[in-house]
Structure 1
Amino acid sequence: MRLEQQPLSQVPEKAYHLPAGTAAAHGYDLEVTPESAGWGYSGLRVVTLAAAEEHAFSTGDDEVVVVPLSGAVSVEADGSHLDLAGRADVFAGPTDFAYLPPGTTATLLSERGGRFALCTARTDRHLPVRYGAAADVPVELRGAGRSSRQVRNFGTPDHLDAGAIIACEVITPDGNWSSYPAHKHDEASATESELEEIYYFEIAAGPQGQPGLGFFRTSSSPGHPIEITEEVHDRDVVLVPFGWHGPAVAAPGHAMYYLNVMAGPPHPAAEAQGGRAWLISDHPDQTWIRSTWADEQVDPRLTGERS
């Protein structure tokens, strides 16, 4: 499935940075759809539920992965009942999740309340409703030294069978850099896949609750002019339609979390994964940094398996 897209080169670059609250709609704290983003596949919604509150929705043309950001939730979906234990917050570790196919009617119920992400991708592939356990989420350590980060690969092609969606979570300790070296995935080739990407950020507060910050960069790749350098705050979103993206930099004193949601047209080399391929190209000026990691220790504040 390939959708006709709006000319992204005509979109004001400030539209790619959505500060917290500015993309609220239809009862969601955040609503990004392919239509609102001006592209073809990727979307993300975040909903806050009070204690004992319900939220009903239809997946429509999208597959949806329900990811608790804080709190527990029950998911009723076309006769299936899934209980997600969730977590206290995004820094507490991986969470369990629910996968819902297109054309599904679902209801969320949170007895104690919480915040929940609905990661979406436009697809015509129909797969069963199912539960993903937190204990089964691969936790990967990437980089080393000040480039260390933890990646939770709950929705990547090797872990989740899906139609189009690719999703993961990244924890960057305060003072560290992630999404580094900068990389791109804006054309289909033997070494790269075409993926639209959403970065949803949460930034840890300081010891007395001081609001945190970080920085995020997207720059032009061949044939794709874009220049974004943004100070990002808790619950901000940055859309990456194309270009070299990264680094994401966590300010000292403020750990950074981001949820990545990606999707795009099927890649011909990934038929076994339904066309889903997460293939990237490093920025040629920055890829050398990878060669330094073998002689550095991973940041001890992180846990997981070093890749």
Structure 2
Amino acid sequence: MTELYLPAGTAGHGAYELEVTPESAGWGYSGLRVVALDAAEEHHFDTGADEVVVVPLSGGATVDADGSHVDLTGRADVFAGPTDFVYLPPGTTVTLHSERGGRFALCSARTDRRLPVRYGAASEVPVELRGAGRSSRQVRNFGTPDNLDAGAIIACEVITPDGNWSSYPAHKHDEASEHESELEEIYYFEVAAGPQGQPGLGFFRTSSSPGHPIEITEEVHDRDVVLVPHGWHGPAVAAPGHAMYYLNVMAGPPHLGAEHGRAWLISDHPDQTWVRSAWADQEVDPRLTQEGS
């Protein structure tokens, strides 16, 4: 049986401190690798059957891919605001070079669609303030269907201020219908340390949806991963004193109602949908902005 909770340091392989592939996850589409580079170090890889979005978690890099050269400015860390990124199609040979060192997420999805290499500027990443009150969070929609033309991948980043709840109401996307798309999802977490460097923590929940048994309630820490093959997922809760970041990578079979088959359609948990109406009388958490976090 595939492990769905992957504590930091338990799912690395070779050059990667984290490696999730469709094969290792026991599903068909979504993947995520994280590679750390020392100053002036290079990493070579081939995208193979996957499209890949290179997302700097910290630091910057240059990306050389089949004749294209892209400079990624990157960022100090995931809490410093959105980053620029690069999209790479399947069948692409890549060299990633970081002059000062850094950590880089390689978000991936299995697809037959081949599009050109493209650069995405940080200033053009749509930043959404979702929810209100203690359900306020910031969503950076760099790889969603409205912002990135791609074959199958859907990806975004979420910042949850300390003490807040996100992925709430709990929701699902595990069946194809007019109102829902079938998507496998990866949650990669980074959790801010305390004032003297104390390790941070949060909590994450996934529960059974009709016909899809699953039960996950985990205390999550910095660089942990949770796989969501199906089910109602959420909430993700940031402990007081520890802001939470997570990177979501999703992909699934083509959705017949969407152009090129790519759609991000969800259903709220029926017991929690009422939460959305409560936001109308609450202010968005002032710690969040639409420019950064």
Normalising to structure 2: TM-score of the pair?
0.99
Equivalence for 1:34: 22
Q: Give structure 1 stretches of 5+ with no counterpart.
A: 1-10
**How many angstroms apart in 1 are the aligned matches of 2:288 and 2:179?**
29
1:265 is displaced (CA, Å) by 0.3
Number of aligned pairs?
291
**How many angstroms apart in 2 are the aligned matches of 1:266 and 1:132?**
24
Equivalence for 2:212: 224
Normalized per residue, the structure richer in strand is 2
> What are the equivalent positions in structure 2 for 1:117-266 lying under 5 Å apart?
117-266=105-254
Equivalence for 2:288: 302
1:34 is displaced (CA, Å) by 0.1
> Which ranges of 4 or more aligned residues in structure 1 deviate by more than 2 Å?
none
**1:290 and 2:276 matched:** yes
1:26 is displaced (CA, Å) by 1.8
Q: How well do the aligned residues superpose, as a CA RMSD in angstroms?
A: 0.7
> What are the equivalent positions in structure 2 for 1:32-111 lying under 5 Å apart?
32-111=20-99
**How many angstroms apart in 1 are the aligned matches of 2:171 and 2:39?**
41
**How many angstroms apart in 2 are the aligned matches of 1:171 and 1:187?**
27
Equivalence for 1:275: 261
1:88-130: per-residue Cα shift (whole Å, max 9, x none)? 0000000000000000000000000000000000000000001
**How many angstroms apart in 1 are the aligned matches of 2:75 and 2:124?**
15
**How many angstroms apart in 2 are the aligned matches of 1:107 and 1:124?**
22
Structure 2 letter corresponding to 1:82: V
**How many angstroms apart in 1 are the aligned matches of 2:279 and 2:44?**
46
Structure 2 letter corresponding to 1:147: S
Normalising to structure 1: TM-score of the pair?
0.94
**How many angstroms apart in 1 are the aligned matches of 2:197 and 2:216?**
28
1:75 is displaced (CA, Å) by 0.1
